[in-house]
């Protein structure tokens, strides 16, 4: 077959598209919801917050509160979580040379789930407030256990992935056991597992920001290294790279990124696979471009998904994990089919 | 002066001794071909020189002991092209050749203008500039081999290690690739160490042959001294005749007696 995808989007244009997507998602999310905000007034109120820009806005006090204390923190938190999950997914995919790997892998999701379950079940009233910390710690611990059990003496990525699957199954089994003994907490644990950004606050965003910044920066700085890893460990070593060291650093950063996301949002699947994949289709496989684009596009994607989650069945909310899968899967399949001619 | 000196190299893999005290040397700008039957240790020797295997014994490149060099330092001296290199299907030729600049980049730095220039120069030399924007998956066998060599050349190595560079190529493309390699060593003074399966081609292109057998150097020297009917018969368990081509290189031809079939 002829190459239908001869033209990749040049990097600059791809960044422009991704940034525009994020801005558009932010605007849509700021404008849509139970309270009816005047679009023009909302936009001027938002622009007014940009340093050195002073615009009068006709937004009243209540609308301002809705915008700045309810919608905006949720948008920012959603963007952070989406960006982190996507960039971590892309990072894992680079490290493992496998496009099906995502940020929940290597015991990350299972560890977070167990941590959150333990907090809800055993900490009583203190439980809910301890969930983010417990999920964060559980996620990191899950990855650490998987890494230590899988990274034995120069073994390859397959061993590491299998160890991750084994550790994940084990931790999930423990979680199921704990949960089965305390059925009264089932509802609460279940709703956490499905993921949600409801009740997002500026404080939550501020709490994960340091982890997000550090992990995101470390992942982004290793794009070139992941490109070298694409030719395999052996050739990467012959080019002077240390595959084991690179893998450890990137996995640690991805684990931190995923853990910070999970701590404030619960388990949101699919983002870490679908976003980097779409980005690759559009802009080519180089991680120097895929990583930053995934960050931007993932942020926009999750903000949009969250907007749907809180509006489709309003005033109730759908779990955001359900939305990402419901909306994402068909889109993903459509993209796969429409670009089928890529592999000849 | 010897560009590569291998001194009493011993390699164990999974507690099995693959190479026993292998010593050999090739002069600067020379071409050494490693020959020998399957399992003789040719690839192991090449990988040890590339710094990919733990070993005992010394490997020196232009008097530098490779044991004293770290990953990037070694990669600036030696480029290694494995028998079946990994070619990420969606990567462009241009990006792939640029990977050859990896040993020259600081941990956090990106390839700069001079790296791109070096990669472009290497691409020009191997005539792959025409398809710089194509995906690796879309290349033919001959084009792939040229792209691999371009990446190795972008590394600006003093030594080029090639594991069966003509693998999977038809006869014309085999000769084309070998001529390219020969041009590189004459034009740039690159020293070549390659594994060759075709003994006639080995004799036509290399100036030194090392015949490995069961992990030891069986014979080493110029092609005419190494490629004898008796030796090939013994080491390869093959029946051949050795003649000489018009240029004076030994030509190894397999021999088959007419089959005896008893028709009852």
What CATH code is carried by the domain that includes residue A63? 1.10.3470.10
Give which of A4, A222, A235, A279 to mutate to test B binding, by max B Cβ within 10 Å. A235
Is A3 within the bounds of a domain?
Answer: no
Helices (H), B50-161: 71-77, 93-98, 113-125, 141-154
Is B24 inside a domain boundary?
yes
Shortest distance, CA B133 to any CA of chain A (angstroms): 9
Q: Does B76 touch chain A (CB under 8 A)?
A: yes
> What predicted TM-score, i.e. pTM, was given to this entire model?
0.89
Per the listing, tokens 């379950």 go with A117
Reading chain B (264 residues) residue by residue, the pLDDT tens digits are 678 999 999 999 988 999 999 999 999 999 999 999 999 999 999 999 999 999 999 999 988 888 888 889 999 999 999 998 899 999 999 999 999 999 999 998 889 999 999 999 999 988 899 999 999 999 998 899 999 999 999 999 999 999 999 988 889 989 999 999 999 899 888 999 999 999 999 999 999 999 999 999 999 999 999 999 999 999 999 999 999 999 889 999 999 877 777 766
Tell me the per-residue pLDDT of A246-290, one tens digit each, with 9 for 90 and over: 999 999 999 999 999 988 988 888 899 889 998 998 899 999 999
**Tokens coding B73:** 């330092």
Count of domains in chain A? 1
Q: Do B102 and A241 touch (CB under 8 A)?
A: yes
Tokens of B88: 């990420």
Q: Does A237 touch chain B (CB under 8 A)?
A: yes
> Could you give the number of structural domains in chain B?
1
β-bridge partners, B244:
B250
Is residue B102 domain-resident? no
Q: Is residue A115 part of a domain?
A: yes
- The boundaries of the domain holding residue A176 are 11-342
Among B70, B92, B99, whose Cβ lies nearest the Cβ of A239? Answer: B99
Spatial CA neighbour of A134 closest among A206, A91, A192? A192
- Tell which residue, B73, B26, B64, has the closest CA to residue B45: B26
The reply to whether residue B52 touches residue A344, judged by beta carbons under 8 angstroms, is no
For A204, the token pair is: 């939550």
Residue A199 falls in which region: left (phi positive, over 0), alpha (psi -120 to 50) or beta: left
Query: B74 in a domain, yes or no?
Result: no
Report d(CA A40, CA A31) in Å as an integer: 10
* A1 located within any domain: no
CATH of the domain at B201: 3.40.50.300
| A342–B90 CB contact, under 8 Å | yes
**A47 CB near a chain B CB, below 8 Å?**
no
Answer whether residue A4 is part of any domain. no
Complex-level ipTM: 0.90
- The token pair that represents B238 in the structure block: 């093959």
Residue B150 domain flag: no
User: How near does any CA of chain B get to the CA of A108, in Å?
Assistant: 27
**Chain A residues within an 8 Å CB radius of B91:** 227, 230, 285-286
Kindly state whether residue B222 falls inside one of the protein's structural domains.
Answer: yes
Range of the domain at B231: 2-62+158-254
Dihedral sign for Cα A207, A210, A211, A216, please: positive
Question: Is the minimum CB–CB distance between A286 and chain B shorter than 8 Å?
Answer: yes
Q: Kindly state whether residue A6 falls inside one of the protein's structural domains.
A: no
């Amino acid at each position: 077959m002829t190459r239908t995808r001869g033209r990749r989007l040049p990097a600059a244009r791809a960044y422009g598209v991704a940034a525009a997507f994020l801005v558009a998602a932010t605007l849509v999310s700021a404008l849509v919801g139970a309270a009816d905000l005047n679009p023009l007034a909302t936009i001027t109120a938002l622009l007014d917050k940009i340093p050195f820009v002073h615009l009068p806005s006709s937004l009243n006090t209540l609308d301002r509160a809705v915008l700045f204390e309810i919608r905006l923190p949720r948008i920012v938190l959603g963007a952070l979580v989406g960006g982190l999950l996507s960039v971590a997914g892309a990072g894992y995919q680079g490290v493992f040379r496998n496009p099906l790997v995502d940020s929940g892998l290597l015991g990350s999701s299972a560890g977070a789930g167990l941590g959150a379950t333990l907090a809800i079940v055993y900490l009583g009233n203190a439980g809910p407030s301890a969930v983010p910390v417990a999920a964060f710690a559980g996620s990191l611990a899950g990855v650490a256990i998987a890494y230590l059990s899988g990274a034995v003496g120069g073994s390859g990525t397959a061993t590491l992935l299998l160890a991750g699957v084994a550790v994940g199954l084990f931790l999930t089994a423990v979680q199921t056991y704990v949960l089965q003994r305390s059925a009264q907490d089932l509802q609460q644990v279940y709703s956490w597992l499905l993921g949600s950004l409801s009740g997002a606050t500026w404080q939550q965003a501020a709490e994960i920001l340091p982890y997000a910044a550090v992990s995101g920066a470390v992942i982004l700085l290793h794009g070139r290294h992941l490109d070298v890893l694409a030719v395999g460990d052996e050739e990467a070593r012959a080019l002077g790279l240390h595959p084991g060291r690179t893998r450890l650093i990137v996995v640690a950063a991805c684990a931190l990124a995923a853990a910070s996301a999970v701590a404030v949002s619960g388990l949101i699947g699919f983002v870490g696979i679908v976003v980097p994949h779409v980005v690759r289709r559009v802009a080519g496989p180089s991680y120097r471009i895929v990583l930053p684009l995934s960050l931007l596009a993932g942020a926009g994607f999750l903000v949009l998904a969250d907007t749907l989650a809180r509006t489709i069945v309003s005033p109730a909310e759908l779990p955001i994990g359900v939305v990402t899968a419901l909306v994402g899967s068909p889109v993903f399949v459509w993209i796969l089919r429409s670009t089928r001619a890529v592999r000849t | 002066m010897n560009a590569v000196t291998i001194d009493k190299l011993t390699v164990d893999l999974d507690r099995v001794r693959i190479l026993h005290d292998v010593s050999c040397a090739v002069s600067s700008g020379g071409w050494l071909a490693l020959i020998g039957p399957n399992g003789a240790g040719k690839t192991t020797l090449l990988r040890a020189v590339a710094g990919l295997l733990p070993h005992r014994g010394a490997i020196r490149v232009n008097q530098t002991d490779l044991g004293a060099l770290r990953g990037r330092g070694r990669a600036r001296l030696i480029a290694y092209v494995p028998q079946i290199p990994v070619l990420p299907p969606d990567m462009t030729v241009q990006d792939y050749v640029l990977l050859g600049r990896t040993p020259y980049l600081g941990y956090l730095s990106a390839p700069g203008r001079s790296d791109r220039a070096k990669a472009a120069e290497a691409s020009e030399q191997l005539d792959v500039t025409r398809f710089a924007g194509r995906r690796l998956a879309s290349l033919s066998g001959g084009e792939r081999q040229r792209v691999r060599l371009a990446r190795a050349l972008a590394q600006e190595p003093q030594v080029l290690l090639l594991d069966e560079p003509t693998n999977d190529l038809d006869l014309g493309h085999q000769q084309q690739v070998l001529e390219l390699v020969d041009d590189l060593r004459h034009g740039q003074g690159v020293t070549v160490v390659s594994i060759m399966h075709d003994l006639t081609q080995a004799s036509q292109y290399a100036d030194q042959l090392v015949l490995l057998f069961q992990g030891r150097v069986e014979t080493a020297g110029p092609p005419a001294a190494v490629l004898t009917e008796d030796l090939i018969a013994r080491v390869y368990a093959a029946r051949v005749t050795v003649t000489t081509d018009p240029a004076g290189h030994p030509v190894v031809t397999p021999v088959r007696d007419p089959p005896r079939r008893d028709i009852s």
